[in-house]
Amino acid sequence: MNLSRSNFLLLNWIVILLLNFVLICEADPRISEAGLICGTNRTTPAIIIPQFVRLMEVVSQRVTDNNWGNHHVNSTNISIYALANCYQDLPHQDCLLCYAASRTRLPRCLPGKSGRIYLDGCFLRYDHYNFFNETTDSAEDRVNCSSSIGVATGQELTTLNASAGNLIDELTKTAVANGGYAAANLNGVYGLAQCWKSVSTSGCKKCLDKASRDIKGCFPNRDARALIAGCYLRYSTQNFLNNPSGNSSGGVSKGVIVAIVLGVTAFTMLALSAAYTARKRSLRQKRARINLGKISNSYNKSSLNFKYENLEKATNYFDPSTKVGQGGNGSVYKGTLPNGNIIAVKRLFFNTRQWVDDFFNEVNLIHGIEHKNLVKLLGCSIEGPESLLVYEFVTNKSLDQYLFDKDKVKILSWEERFRIIVGTAQGIDFLHGGSEIRIIHRDIKSSNVLLDENLEAKIADFGLARCFGADKTHLSTGIAGTLGYMAPEYLVKGQLTEKVDVYSFGVLVLEIVSGRKSIAFAEDSGSLLQTVWKRYTTNQVTEALDPLLKGDFPPEEASKVLKVGLLCTQASVALRPSMSEVVQMLTCEGYQIPEPCQPPFLNSNLLAGGSIKSSIRSLVSNALYKLDESSSYATTTGSSSMQSSSTGPHKSDEFLLKESENRK
């Protein structure tokens, strides 16, 4: 049977949509962190990091195969043992997601010789001795008496003590007799007990007995976890289980039936598309390996290349005391080179394909670009166990810490805010047209604007940036960025133009002037954009300014800046100015600034009476409505709007939910 490429892609999308209906209802990888415990004994990074990476590669494969795995590696200088174990109620796909989350977080313990992390769905540990049969550890065992859902009082406390106590005792006995796992609920209290697969039956009993005694000390908390060397025990008045045994009706659940039906339907489609997909992936990976090899050789021979060991020494082996920030793609450290030059080093352990793409994207885009309002890339290192980017060091913190940090060391004056706004605008304008290539940043926000010793703005973090051909009016792409800063046409249709950066800049301007965060979901007084718009329509726009300014600002200039922010955040692409026009509006006396005629697309009541997930759907629906509305407006006024696209949203509600959580 011969199918065209477009038919194969259509079948793939149908399969994804069908499976998403099940996954949205059933999936929950439970990646909340219950406890991270790092050992105090340390070694040099050059000794442990390569062994750690080798070790995790094997453990990752074993988790993929069995939902758990252990392994050890030996070298002349150190031996390391590792164990990963998903909790038994977690489906395989969620297990992999949970393990990936733990795999990303555990390296915070390096270069320590040991570390363990308990997530609500899985466990991961490494150590310098064989701990696989270890059941208890008096030095490191602990309980997490969570207060996130409150404390029981009165009659509820009496019920909780009885129900949780009986449930914990029953879970302990059942798990020991059931291969190390039990889950159940009793009178509205849910519980789970899990011993590691490497622990013996007698060891499991010993571990859970200790966990049972320890966790009962958390009463009257409604939620608690015992984090023991050989096991995990949790109770909660909220249902956190994927398949709670106490709710079993003895039959097959509706979710399973739906999954089976959709699975059978999808299997035929997958069989048809598998050959095409596998072939395409193979060719793409082959090209990627060839390109990566060429790039690696090129940079190793160029002046951009830094030796890994030199950067290690410059940052005192990435000592936590030298860490100065967290970028979109990794941690940032301050370093001092032998010649005395101070640098910033961005570091990421895990060279996933997406990260490698972002890494070289950033190097290729900005290594030759120089502008006073852009952070200068000095070079990179790709020869060590992890890849590194090297930047000029920017003395002060990122802008968001000046605006939103509760313990502000400095309150920015109006003059400083205005200079930051103008500098950021000039930097974006340069990206859009001041160099040989047009670049769209895609993630303009306060945390990506750094401030130097003179509080001059410098735009950073180009990992999401995209080149833009001179002959293109827009690109269609999967979305990436931060909710609250994304333009409606990009959020809904994935259409990318310079006006996406203009929109983000407009949001940033309103944040700088008001001292308030722009959030996609507002429960009380409405979103920042809506608030400023209301002030503007009632000729009270200066009342939106940061009260910390205490009225010390020129009203006309402040009104002009707020008007520019509103112009940049209009729903219609055609009505937003270009960044070169924005720079003129801000810097040229007498420049005639148009009146904003459209409110922002964000809905200030998105969360009223609903969940975040439903709010995301409302956000997308509202964006679609505003796009249609702005298209009609542009037609009636003779303005040309963006080309429409027949494609739907490029990301599901689940992606948007994840982005909103990351934003928080």
- Write out the binding residues: 346
**What letter would DSSP give residue 133?**
T
Of 117, 113, 118, give the one whose Cα is nearest residue 52: 113
The alpha carbon dihedral of 370, 373, 378, 383 has a sign of: negative
Alpha helices for 126-226 (secondary structure H): 154-177, 201-215
Of 468, 339, 471, 330, nearest to 389 (Cα)?
330
Nearby residues of 141 by Cβ (< 8 Å), 6 or more positions away: 210, 214, 226, 227, 228, 229
Calculated CA dihedral for residues 618, 619, 624, 628, nearest 10 degrees: 100
Tokens 């400023």 correspond to what residue? 532
State the binding site for ATP. 346
Q: Which of 28, 443, 461, 653 is catalytic?
A: 443
Residue showing tokens 């007799």: 177
Is 357 part of the annotated catalytic residue set?
no
SS3 content of the chain, % helix, strand, coil (to 5): 45, 20, 35
Element at 14 (helix H, strand E) = helix 5-26
Distance of CA 252 to the CA centre of its chain: 36
Number of Cβ within 10 Å of residue 564's Cβ equals 25
Give the whole-angstrom CA distance, residue 214 versus residue 290: 55
- What's the CA gap between 580 and 259, in Å, rounded? 53
Conformation bin of residue 150: beta by default, left when phi > 0, alpha when psi is -120 to 50: left
User: Catalytic positions, please?
Assistant: 443
